[in-house]
Amino acid sequence: MKPPRIYRIVDGILVINKPKDWTSFDVVAKIRNQLNVKKVGHTGTLDPQATGVLVLCIGKGTKLCQKLTGLDKEYICDITLGAASTTDDAEGEITSVSDAAEVPITTIENILKEFKGTFEQMPPDFSAKKIKGKKAYELARKGKKPELKPVEVTIHQIELLDYKWPLLKLKIHCGKGFYVRSLARDIGEKLGVGGYLTALQRTRVGHFGLDGAITIEQADEKRVLPMSAAKVSI
Give me the active site residues, please. Answer: 47
From the CA atom positions of the chain, what is the Rg in Å? 19
> Using omega within 30 degrees of 0 as the cis cutoff, is the peptide bond preceding 124 cis?
no
C-alpha 30 chain-centroid distance: 19
CB of 228 closer than 8 Å to CB of 16: no
Q: What's the one-letter identity of residue 6?
A: I
3-class SS of residue 182 = helix
